Chains A and B, each alone.
Chain A
């Protein structure tokens, strides 16, 4: 993934240090036309109430503008299941936000691609879960792979930057190299991810989907998976950007530190975002340092641990607790790096 410009990196650091929500994630809907097996919303696609309206979202955007937010990421569910998705994004663009759209692409035809291009998003992220067979098996929707590729082409032909997010699971590991070549042709940028986060109900995604370190090591290329780089965190390091330079809003107005960290801070339908952002829960979270994690003192995997308070919250109900999912992930990283150091394949 291309590095952010030095000025953007400085903005991000300054925002996190000063508790400015430079980034906001907006879940437009939890509804989706696919049923991806790895998705954290896998069992939660049914609407649980009234989604935020265009008017409500416009009000939220105005508040975010006041709070000095610059980046908005629109995600779902599938955002284009909402007939007013383009209007919503346009409302955000009118306020000058730099917008990133996350979509499965299956609903994007030529006409919608043109409308999206007019919105001038910074990037459109599209997930590829394998080659055709593996992708469709993962989405549980035959034909979805071809629809997604068609959307990527339609968007790129209109000058929209498409980022292919290649989700590397065990089922798709055999496709990884071919998928990388395909993505190089069909997207402007490619990122790999092995992160599978627990569902909203706190259930861990099946172990069978997690890719093994030895499988990754067998790849003939370095997929530079961010979470598989050695973090080497010092104890005084902050844990992550959630609630410091980032906040998230659900389709129902719930406010979280991050879409992967579902600790509800308040509801934007009832409370001003600024008040939620300055609240006690986030104040406490911002104080959290890696050395404060109670279960982790003395752990020999600390330097491999990409601790995620969101996963801890989902699984244990306490964002400071070590949970098996995180420890297993650290173990995978250690094994991966050991194999790499030993030239293991």
Chain B
């Protein structure tokens, strides 16, 4: 239960002493899942009992609102109406009355539980919201509570926010006095703020940055509202790039400089090894990686570098994804199929299927370097084509075949 007396009072107003109440939806902002006129059973709960995707009842200014919970940050919760692209301003956690557990529409017909209970797809959105708000948006809110201050120097006239992910903190300087647009136009936590990235500074991050510098990549500034970064690349000191591209490009240049390769792929670490699921878009890379193991490390882009023993290691390329290095056990190209089928691939075919040459600016001959690297990894690491369908026991199958 919320412990703020005022909100406790509000909840009691609504629900009395009961642990649950009924609320009739006034507006259509949660339609079509929960249309106006629907009657929702709400049970009182605390923030700790919420999962991203839960539909929650909130006490607003003079009204109650039924919105979807995305994330929690410190003493705030982030919610959003289903029909809106952007989340609400953060709610103090005391605004929470409870969560919806059951609903009927205006004709008395029961609504599917899927419309108001936590769904997996909201977890990423929730994570993004948590990162975004938690790292800085709240700092700019009038009366907002100060963020937990990372132990980092703040410089210049700008407000400072911090992006935190996977235990790593990024310091971001916001142009003073400028309104912060609402984030989450893109669920990726890399593209949510109107800000300039000035410093990346923690002990943990610094080595990675130094490596990037070794690869002649100089990060200068990033305008997140434009989703662009300013990147110094030797002869092109003011190249503006998308933020995601910015990190990828840095990784690609590292690969070229260090004899590595980059793949259009997802990576996952399991008890039996590290696996790369590669292929073009919508072929199931992410789904395969997530289904195969719960320690997915990369999504859509993987950097592989040669290791000291003559093998290959997955390397971190983006502070928003996991930092550990691990050896690669297999390269797998997934596709949807009628059932399991695992086929070993080799030679030029394996190279062609792995070869990733994205349309971005790279050093001359990077393509040849990438080709040579892919030819080497496909010779060094077993390559497979995998057909499977959702719902199949992928870990059981793959673990038995190549794990």
B324-380 contacts to A, CB under 8 A, are 347-349, 351-355, 357-359, 361-368, 371-372, 375-376, 379
Task: For residue B358, give the distance in angstroms from its CB to the closest CB of chain A.
Answer: 7
| Cβ of A118 under 8 Å from chain B | yes
The answer to whether B361 and A159 have CB atoms under 8 Å apart is: yes
Q: What separation, in Å, do the CA atoms of A156 and B361 have in the docked complex?
A: 11
The answer to whether A120 and B357 have CB atoms under 8 Å apart is: yes
The answer to whether A7 and B376 have CB atoms under 8 Å apart is: yes
The answer to whether A118 and B353 have CB atoms under 8 Å apart is: no
- B-side interface mostly: helix
Residues of A within 8 A of B379 (CB): 7, 10
Residues of B within 8 A of A10 (CB): 379
The answer to whether A11 and B347 have CB atoms under 8 Å apart is: yes
Mark interface residues in A118-136 (1 if CB within 8 Å of B CB, else 0).
1111110000000000000
* Size of the chain B interface, CB-CB below 8 angstroms: 25
* Size of the chain A interface, CB-CB below 8 angstroms: 34
Residues of A within 8 A of B349 (CB): 65, 68, 70
Q: Could you say which of A7, A96, A123, A159 contacts B352, with CB atoms under 8 Å apart? A: A96
| Cβ of B24 under 8 Å from chain A | no
Residues of B within 8 A of A8 (CB): 371-372, 375
A-B contact count (CB 8 A): 79
The answer to whether B352 and A70 have CB atoms under 8 Å apart is: yes
B33-60 contacts to A, CB under 8 A, are none
Given contacts A15-B347, A68-B347, A70-B348, contact A161 B376 (CB under 8 A): no
The answer to whether B347 and A5 have CB atoms under 8 Å apart is: no
Task: For residue B379, give the distance in angstroms from its CB to the closest CB of chain A.
Answer: 5
| Cβ of A95 under 8 Å from chain B | yes
| Cβ of B280 under 8 Å from chain A | yes
Q: What separation, in Å, do the CA atoms of A69 and B355 have in the docked complex?
A: 13
Q: What separation, in Å, do the CA atoms of A98 and B368 have in the docked complex?
A: 9
A1-23 contacts to B, CB under 8 A, are 2, 4-5, 7-8, 10-11, 14-15, 20, 22
The answer to whether B375 and A120 have CB atoms under 8 Å apart is: no
Residues of A within 8 A of B367 (CB): 98, 120-123, 161
B76-120 contacts to A, CB under 8 A, are none
| Cβ of A111 under 8 Å from chain B | no
The answer to whether A96 and B355 have CB atoms under 8 Å apart is: yes
The answer to whether B365 and A69 have CB atoms under 8 Å apart is: no
Residues of A within 8 A of B365 (CB): 161, 188
A residues in contact (CB < 8 Å) with B: 2, 4-5, 7-8, 10-11, 14-15, 20, 22, 65, 68-70, 93-98, 117-123, 156, 158-161, 188
Closest 9 CB pairs of A and B: A5-B372, A7-B375, A70-B348, A120-B357, A118-B359, A96-B352, A68-B349, A7-B376, A22-B348
A-B contact pairs, 12 of them (CB 8 A): A5-B372, A8-B375, A11-B347, A14-B347, A20-B348, A68-B348, A69-B348, A69-B352, A94-B280, A95-B352, A96-B352, A98-B351
